[in-house]
């Protein structure tokens, strides 16, 4: 029997359709990847399962007694307890068994005399040993330590209260709690955000031992490839199912689109014949024919969209950059005894797409802040060529004005390419980024986290800056927006310096890599991708 069932579910929020005729079953052992554009209804589907949203019609049914673990990309974990204390509380039953075993050991040591009392203690001890085996309780403290270590928790983060942690660290704490709870069903909303590559790989390995089912919302294509067994795409209010992982989804989606295109051509031909027939009728029918002609013209236009790369290269055609934009020489930085990088030397040149890799806390983001002047180096220098303009995605995202409109924000930079490129190209580009005319008129303050990220990224890509500095740019972006960003970065004539844990993304764009060694070692390797 299915663990979770959605039957003919319809959901609307005010006048906006979210889901229509949604059918879905989650079986034992299923690992479902849930993909779709920002705002398509992915989070709504998770909230339907959690009972936080009621369908307008249709049914949502959960297996009786089902234990669900939910990870939100915006953690709701809080309180004065430390993360270590929170995780310890998950193993209360095991700790009670440990305490009873300790009391039995003490009783046997105090009075080892053979007799019925001793036999009863030994039998109870054997029962408790069996219970510990069943609960997998012998190594629970090691499981806690492993999870916290891989997720980057040092002693300071383990011993401060949850309320003192940043949003990113709270997310990691929530993830640690959920994976150690081992629920029957996991609902994960962007679980790889704020994780470095080692953390993502650990989560992938954890999934191999997880016996339950899962629904995973993620933009991380390699992660999806590693953990999911089928894909559900939320598109045009409906759920479209594809068997296999993300790679297999791409192949199947291509085949589906080709089939739809063939059907579309057939329908177009029928409309053309119908139009010819109408043209031979009365005057009223001729008016209808004109309507059909307009319809056919629209169909033809939609079948021949402008190539993505052509749009992007046209926008960047007016952007001229120098060969060498920055020389980094002997750059060093440490926090106390912790060395982040030492004697780091490299150049940022035209066409470079430099990916910065390493574990959480190794110094990647600090390097970006030093390059953009937000933080000083201990020694060495980063010398920017005169006239080189630099923009930081994270600064742009942080400084978005809630009172501003999307349209003004995207075109607000003094040297914005929107001022030099054709309006048609810019409109096409914004459309690819899923900005409708209505979206462009919205206030920033009314946008979701994913929508704000799209605004900030579009602003950076159209800024006219020579160098783009991006720290985890794929976080909160849906797959479609990430793909447009990738194409834009590949064609960007300037230079890109990016920190990312998204292996699929970095493999596609990187021309050079800066790889940080073990945290605190100060070792950094600069290499060609």
Give the best-scoring range by mean pLDDT among 164-178, 337-351, 415-429: 337-351
The residues, any chain, with a CB within 8 Å of residue 72's CB and separated by 6 or more, are 174, 189
331 in the same domain as 268: no
The structural domain count of the chain equals 4
Using an 8 Å Cβ cutoff, are 349 and 328 in contact?
no
Query: Can you tell me the mean pLDDT for 228-243?
Result: 89
310 located within any domain = no
Task: Report pLDDT digits (tens) over 465-489.
Answer: 999 999 999 888 877 788 888 888 9
Angle at 394 between CA 490 and CA 391, to 5 degrees: 60
Confidence of residue 167 (pLDDT cuts 50, 70, 90): low
CA-to-CA separations, 373 to 242, 301, 345, 377, 384, in angstroms, rounded: 47, 47, 17, 9, 11
Last residue of a domain, one of 212, 244, 276: 244
With both helix axes pointing from N to C terminus, report the angle between 116-135 and 92-110 in degrees, rounded to the nearest 10. 150
494 in the same domain as 377: yes
Task: Report pLDDT digits (tens) over 345-355.
Answer: 999 999 999 99
CA distance 523 to 106: 51
Sheet holding 238-243, edge to edge: 68-71, 185-189, 213-217, 31-36, 230-235, 238-243
174 located within any domain = no
Task: Report pLDDT digits (tens) over 288-304.
Answer: 445 544 543 444 444 44
The SS3 call for residue 334 is strand
pLDDT value for 467: 94
331 in the same domain as 370: yes
The SS3 call for residue 14 is coil
Last residue of a domain, one of 277, 304, 331: 304
Q: Tell me the residue range of the domain where 394 lies.
A: 315-528
323 in the same domain as 226: no
329 in the same domain as 211: no
464 located within any domain = yes
Min mean pLDDT across 105-119, 145-159, 319-333, 417-431 is at 105-119
pLDDT value for 281: 47
Asked if the model's pLDDT at residue 410 lies above 60, the reply is: yes
Look up residue 126 and give its DSSP letter.
H
- What the block records as the tokens of 164 is 């003192």
461 in the same domain as 341: yes
Q: Which of 326, 301, 310 is nearest to 382 (CA)?
A: 326
Query: Can you tell me the mean pLDDT for 126-148?
Result: 77
The residues, any chain, with a CB within 8 Å of residue 387's CB and separated by 6 or more, are 322
Please state whether 258 falls in left (phi above 0), alpha (psi between -120 and 50) or beta.
alpha
496 in the same domain as 380: yes
pLDDT value for 300: 41
253 located within any domain = yes
CA distance 473 to 500: 7
The three-state DSSP-derived secondary structure of 229-285 is CEEEEEECCEEEEEECCHHHHHHHHHHHHHHHHHHHHHHHHHHHHHHHHHHCCCHHH
423 in the same domain as 320: yes
364 located within any domain = yes
- Torsion on CA atoms 231, 235, 239, 241, rounded to nearest 10: -30
Min mean pLDDT across 37-41, 380-384, 491-495 is at 37-41
Asked if the model's pLDDT at residue 89 lies above 80, the reply is: no
275 in the same domain as 356: no
96 in the same domain as 142: yes
Instruction: Detail the DSSP E strand segments found in 396-529.
Output: 467-471, 495-499, 512-516, 524-528
Cα 91 to its chain centre, rounded Å, is: 30
Q: For the residues of 37-67, what is the DSSP string, one character each?
A: -TTSSHHHHHHHHHTSS--SEEEEEE-TT--
- CB burial class (10 A; 0-12, 13-18, 19+) of residue 374? middle
Query: Can you tell me the mean pLDDT for 222-250?
Result: 88
pLDDT value for 64: 87
What is the sign, positive or negative, of the torsion defined by CA atoms of 253, 37, 218, 511? positive
Using an 8 Å Cβ cutoff, are 370 and 514 in contact?
no
148 in the same domain as 97: yes
521 in the same domain as 472: yes
358 located within any domain = yes
22 located within any domain = yes
CATH, residue 208: 3.40.50.300
Asked if the model's pLDDT at residue 442 lies above 80, the reply is: yes
Helices (H), 111-237: 116-135, 140-150, 155-159, 167-181, 197-209, 221-227
pLDDT value for 262: 65
Using an 8 Å Cβ cutoff, are 469 and 372 in contact?
yes
30 located within any domain = yes
Task: Report pLDDT digits (tens) over 447-471.
Answer: 877 888 889 998 999 988 999 999 9
């Amino acid at each position: 029997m299915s663990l979770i069932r959605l039957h003919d579910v319809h959901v609307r929020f005010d006048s906006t359709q979210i889901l229509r005729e949604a059918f879905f079953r989650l079986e034992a052992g299923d690992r479902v990847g849930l993909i779709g554009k920002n705002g398509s209804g992915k989070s709504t589907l998770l909230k339907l399962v959690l009972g936080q949203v009621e369908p307008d019609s249709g049914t949502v049914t959960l297996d009786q007694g089902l234990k669900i673990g939910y990870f939100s990309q915006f953690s709701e974990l809080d309180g004065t307890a430390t993360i270590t204390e929170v995780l310890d509380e998950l193993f209360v039953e095991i700790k009670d068994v440990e305490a009873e075993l300790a009391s039995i050991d003490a009783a046997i040591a105090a009075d080892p005399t053979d007799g019925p009392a001793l036999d009863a203690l030994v039998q109870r001890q054997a029962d408790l040993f069996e219970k510990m085996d069943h609960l997998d309780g012998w190594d629970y403290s090691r499981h806690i330590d492993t999870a916290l270590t891989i997720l980057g928790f040092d002693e300071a983060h383990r011993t401060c209260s949850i309320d003192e942690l940043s949003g990113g660290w709270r997310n990691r704490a929530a993830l640690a709690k959920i994976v150690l709870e081992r629920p029957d069903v996991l609902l994960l909303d962007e679980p790889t955000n704020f994780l470095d590559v080692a953390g993502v790989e650990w989560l992938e390995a954890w999934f191999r031992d997880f016996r339950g089912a899962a629904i995973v919302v993620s933009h991380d294509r390699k992660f999806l490839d590693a953990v999911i067994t089928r894909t559900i795409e939320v598109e045009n209010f409906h759920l479209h199912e594809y068997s296999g992982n993300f790679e297999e989804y791409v192949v199947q989606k291509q085949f589906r689109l080709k089939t739809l295109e063939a059907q579309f051509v057939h329908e177009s031909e029928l409309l053309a014949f119908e139009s010819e027939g109408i043209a031979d009728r009365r005057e009223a029918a001729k008016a209808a024919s004109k309507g059909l002609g307009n319809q056919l013209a629209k169909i033809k236009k939609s079948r021949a969209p402008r190539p993505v790369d052509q749009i992007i290269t046209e926008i960047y055609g007016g952007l001229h950059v120098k060969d060498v934009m920055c020389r980094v020489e002997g750059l060093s930085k440490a926090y106390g005894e912790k060395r982040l990088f030492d004697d780091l030397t490299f150049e940022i040149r035209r066409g470079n797409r430099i990916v910065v890799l390493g574990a959480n806390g190794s110094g990647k983001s600090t390097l970006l802040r030093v390059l953009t002047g937000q933080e000083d180096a201990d020694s060495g220098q980063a010398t920017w060529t005169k006239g080189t303009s630099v923009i930081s995605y994270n600064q742009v995202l942080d400084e978005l004005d809630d009172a501003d409109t999307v349209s003004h924000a995207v075109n607000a930079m003094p040297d914005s390419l929107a001022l030099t490129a054709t309006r048609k190209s810019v409109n096409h580009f914004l459309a690819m980024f899923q900005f409708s005319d209505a979206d462009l008129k919205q206030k920033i303050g009314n946008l979701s986290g994913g929508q704000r990220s799209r605004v900030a990224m579009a602003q950076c890509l159209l800024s006219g800056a020579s160098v783009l500095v991006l720290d985890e740019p794929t976080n909160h972006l849906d797959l479609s927006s990430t793909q447009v960003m990738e194409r834009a970065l590949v064609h960007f004539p300037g230079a890109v310096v990016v920190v990312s844990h998204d292996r699929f993304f970095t493999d596609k764009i990187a021309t050079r890599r800066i790889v940080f060694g073990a945290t605190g070692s100060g070792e950094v390797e600069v290499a060609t991708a």
